[in-house]
Amino acid sequence: MGRTGSRLRTDQVGAILDAVSGNAIQVAGWRLERALSRLERRIARRLAGVEAKAEDHERLVAELRATRTRAQELEVAGAAAAAALDRAINQINEVLAEQGAKV
């Protein structure tokens, strides 16, 4: 009886293995949940970075378009100013030429 009393019965071994494997499964599940949580946070941070970059890109494109439009407007205004100066210079030269002829 001494040998039989010190030995675990098959059902006891099964119960211990179930408890240990159940605990291992719980630990594995907990580790998996933690890993998934970390992965979700990393993905969220990266998405936020991508969204911020997309917003920056859109803002920069809008600023570039506005700057190009303003540059075109200034170019047209500069050409108009140059034409007006040419007319004024020509008128002044005509007046000076008339006065030079009278003197």
Phi-psi region of 17 (alpha: psi -120 to 50; beta: other; left: phi over 0): alpha
pTM exceeding the 0.75 threshold for the entire prediction:
no
Q: Which amino acid would we find at residue 37?
A: S
Domain that holds residue 92: 2-102
pLDDT digits (tens, 9 = 90+) for 13-72: 667 666 677 677 777 788 899 999 999 999 999 999 999 999 999 999 999 999 999 999
Q: Quote the CA–CA distance of 4 and 42 in Å, as a whole number.
A: 56
How many domains does the chain divide into? Answer: 1
pLDDT digits (tens, 9 = 90+) for 35-51: 999 999 999 999 999 99
Q: Quote the CA–CA distance of 36 and 20 in Å, as a whole number.
A: 24
Which residue intervals of 1-103 are DSSP H helices?
2-6, 10-102
- CA-based Rg of the chain, rounded to a whole angstrom? 44
34, 42 Cβ separation under 8 angstroms: no
